[in-house]
C-alpha cells in the first residue's frame, strides 16, 4: 500500500494518551496505519503539504439513521415532539426500497466525510420492500468510510400497543435470523476492519422485552456490539414506567443491556443512579446534541457523565431530526450546550473534540481509531485554517471556536476519501441529483 507523508502541519492535535499537540509537525502513514509522528520526517511516498492546516484524528459518529437523509425538513415533522414526529414519518419510510437505502446512505456518509468523519455507526431499524442492511454497507464501501452498521428492528406495532404502524414491524424470529445472516456475512472483527456489524432493536417502545433479551444473547454469542435508543425524553421515561414499571436504566440492566459492548443513544434523562450504573459497567453513550435540541428533548448531562467516568461519544442522529449531518458542527453544539447548563468553563473546545474523536472510537469498541499515535489506524482529517472562518484566530487549534466546518482532506485506513474539499471516489453531484429525485418521488406520492 502506498505511503503518505503529511508534512509541516501548523498543528497536529493527536488526542493520544497524553493529548499531545505538535506544531510544524509531520505524520507518516503506511499500510493503513500511522507509522511516525514528528518533525523533518522523510518519505519516498506521496507528500501532502499541510502548512496552514490543523491535523486531527478523523471524527467518529456513534449514532445515525442514514436513511433519514431522504426525509429532511418534512412538513408535519418539523415542529413535533419525538412520538408525534415518528408517527408522521413512519408511513413515508414504509415506502422506501433498496434504492432509497443506498442513495440516502451514500449522501449521508459523504456529508459526514466532508465534516471530518472517518468512522460512522448507523442504526437501520426498518426493512420495507426488500431493503437490507447491505444496501448501506455497499454505500459505505463506495464512499470509503469505516462503517459500523447495526441491524435494527421493530416488532411491536400499533395493534399490540407499540408506536410504529403494523406494516413496518417484523416477526421476531425473522429479525433474529437476519441478524445472524448479516453478522456472518459482513462482520469483520480485525483491527483494520472497515465493517463491524452490531445488533440494535430500535427502542423499548417498538420491540418486546423478549427480543431485547434474545438480541443481547445473540450479540454475545457472536462477539458483536449492542445498540439502542434509551431515555431520550420525558415521554420515553413515562412509557418505561407505565409499560415496564421501572426506569430505562433498570430495564436495560434487567435485560443484559449494560456492559462495554453496549452503547445507548441519547440518555438525556439518565438520573444519577443510572449514570453510576453505566460508569460501573463500561456502558457507552451516544450524545446527539442537535437532535435533542431539534426535538426539544432536553440537554444530556454530559458534564456529569464525563466527570462520573462514563464513556461518551458524539452522534449526529438521523437527518430527519437534526437535520444536518455535520459532525464537527455537532461537536461545537455539544460544547455550547454544556455551557448553557453549567457555565462557560463547563467544556472546552478541545474536550468536545476529544469526545468527537477518541471518545466515540472507545464507545464503538475501536480504541485503534480516534487518535493519532504510532500503530493506530491511519484515519486523519486535515482542516485548512487559512480561510475566513479562522481569520484572526489566536489559537487555530481550537477548531470548534473558530475554524472550518468542512475538511480539506480526509484519509481512512490511509486511503484518500476527500481531497481539496471534494469526494474522491464517486461523483457527488450525481448522488445528490439521485437523492433529490427520490425525495421528490416520495413527496409526490403523499
User: Closest-CB residue for Zn ion?
Assistant: 317
Residue 374 C-beta: closest distance to Zn ion, Å: 35
Residue 63 C-beta: closest distance to Zn ion, Å: 6
Could you tell me which stretch among 31-39, 143-151, 246-254, 316-324 binds Zn ion (CB under 5 A)? 316-324
Helices (H), 198-308: 209-222, 234-244, 248-254, 272-281, 289-294, 302-307
In the region spanning residues 150 to 179, those forming contacts with Zn ion, defined by CB under 5 A, are none
CB 105 within 8 A of CB 140: yes
Nearer to Zn ion, 180 or 299 (CB): 299
Could you tell me which stretch among 299-307, 315-323, 338-346, 353-361 binds Zn ion (CB under 5 A)? 315-323
Nearer to Zn ion, 170 or 317 (CB): 317
Residue 64 C-beta: closest distance to Zn ion, Å: 8
For helices 133-143 and 172-186, angle between their N-to-C axes, nearest 10 degrees: 30
Nearer to Zn ion, 14 or 68 (CB): 68
Could you tell me which stretch among 3-11, 83-91, 145-153, 313-321 binds Zn ion (CB under 5 A)? 313-321
Could you tell me which stretch among 24-32, 207-215, 312-320, 342-350 binds Zn ion (CB under 5 A)? 312-320
Positive or negative, the Cα torsion across 207, 210, 211, 215?
A: positive
CB 6 within 8 A of CB 410: no
User: How is 392-445 classified by DSSP, letter by letter?
Assistant: T-S-TT-TTTS--SS-SEEEETTEEEEETTEESSS-HHHHHHHHHHHHHHHHHT
Residue 206 C-beta: closest distance to Zn ion, Å: 12
Residue 133 C-beta: closest distance to Zn ion, Å: 16
Nearer to Zn ion, 364 or 380 (CB): 364
**How many residues at the interface with Zn ion, by CB under 5 A?**
1
Nearer to Zn ion, 247 or 294 (CB): 294
Torsion-angle region of residue 402: left (phi > 0), alpha (psi -120 to 50) or beta?
Answer: beta
Q: Which grid coordinates are listed for 100?
A: 432509497
How far, CA to CA in Å, does 368 sit from each of 345, 362, 371?
30, 9, 8
Nearer to Zn ion, 62 or 415 (CB): 62
Q: How far apart are CA 427 and CA 370, in angstroms?
A: 27
Residue 265 C-beta: closest distance to Zn ion, Å: 5
Could you tell me which stretch among 1-9, 19-27, 317-325, 411-419 binds Zn ion (CB under 5 A)? 317-325
* Residues contributing to the site for Zn ion (CB under 5 A): 317
Amino acid at each position: 500500500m502506498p505511503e503518505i507523508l503529511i508534512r509541516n502541519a501548523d498543528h497536529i492535535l493527536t488526542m493520544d494518551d497524553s493529548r499531545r499537540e505538535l506544531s510544524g509537525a509531520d505524520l507518516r502513514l503506511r499500510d493503513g496505519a500511522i507509522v511516525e509522528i514528528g518533525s523533518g520526517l522523510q518519505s519516498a511516498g506521496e507528500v501532502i503539504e499541510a502548512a496552514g492546516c490543523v491535523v486531527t484524528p478523523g471524527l467518529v459518529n456513534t449514532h445515525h439513521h442514514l436513511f433519514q437523509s431522504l426525509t429532511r425538513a418534512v412538513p408535519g415533522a418539523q415542529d413535533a415532539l419525538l412520538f408525534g414526529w415518528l408517527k408522521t414519518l413512519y408511513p413515508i419510510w414504509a415506502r422506501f426500497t433498496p434504492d432509497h437505502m443506498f442513495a440516502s446512505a451514500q449522501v449521508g456518509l459523504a456529508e459526514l466525510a466532508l465534516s471530518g468523519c472517518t468512522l460512522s455507526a448507523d442504526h437501520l431499524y426498518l426493512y420495507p420492500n426488500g431493503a437490507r442492511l447491505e444496501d448501506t454497507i455497499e454505500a459505505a464501501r463506495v464512499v470509503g468510510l469505516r462503517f459500523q452498521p447495526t441491524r435494527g428492528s421493530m416488532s411491536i406495532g400499533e395493534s399490540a400497543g407499540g408506536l410504529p404502524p403494523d406494516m413496518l414491524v417484523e416477526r421476531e424470529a425473522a429479525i433474529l435470523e437476519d441478524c445472524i445472516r448479516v453478522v456472518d456475512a459482513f462482520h469483520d472483527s480485525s483491527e483494520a476492519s472497515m465493517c463491524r456489524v452490531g445488533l440494535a432493536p430500535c427502542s423499548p417502545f417498538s420491540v418486546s422485552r423478549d427480543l431485547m433479551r434474545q438480541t443481547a444473547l445473540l450479540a454475545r454469542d457472536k462477539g458483536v456490539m449492542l445498540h439502542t435508543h434509551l431515555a431520550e425524553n420525558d415521554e420515553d421515561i413515562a412509557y418505561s414506567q407505565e409499560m415496564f414499571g421501572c426506569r430505562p436504566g433498570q430495564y436495560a440492566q434487567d435485560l443484559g443491556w449494560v456492559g462495554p459492548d453496549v452503547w445507548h443513544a441519547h440518555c438525556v434523562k439518565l438520573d444519577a443512579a443510572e449514570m453510576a450504573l453505566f460508569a460501573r459497567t463500561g456502558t457507552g453513550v451516544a450524545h446527539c446534541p442537535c437532535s435533542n435540541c431539534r426535538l426539544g428533548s432536553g440537554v444530556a448531562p454530559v458534564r456529569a457523565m464525563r466527570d462520573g467516568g462514563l464513556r461518551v461519544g458524539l452522534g449526529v442522529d438521523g437527518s430527519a431530526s437534526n437535520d444536518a449531518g455535520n459532525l464537527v458542527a455537532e461537536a461545537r453544539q455539544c460544547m455550547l450546550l454544556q455551557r448553557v447548563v453549567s457555565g462557560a468553563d463547563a467544556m472546552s473546545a478541545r474536550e468536545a473534540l476529544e469526545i468527537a474523536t477518541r471518545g466515540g472510537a472507545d464507545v464503538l469498541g475501536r480504541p485503534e481509531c480516534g487518535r493519532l499515535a504510532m500503530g493506530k489506524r491511519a484515519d486523519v482529517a486535515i482542516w485548512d485554517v487559512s480561510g475566513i472562518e479562522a481569520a484572526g484566530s489566536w489559537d487555530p487549534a481550537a477548531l470548534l471556536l473558530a475554524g472550518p466546518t468542512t475538511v480539506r482532506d480526509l484519509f481512512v485506513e490511509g486511503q484518500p476519501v476527500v481531497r481539496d474539499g471534494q469526494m474522491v471516489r464517486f461523483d457527488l453531484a450525481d448522488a445528490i441529483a439521485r437523492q433529490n429525485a427520490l425525495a421528490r418521488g416520495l413527496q409526490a406520492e403523499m
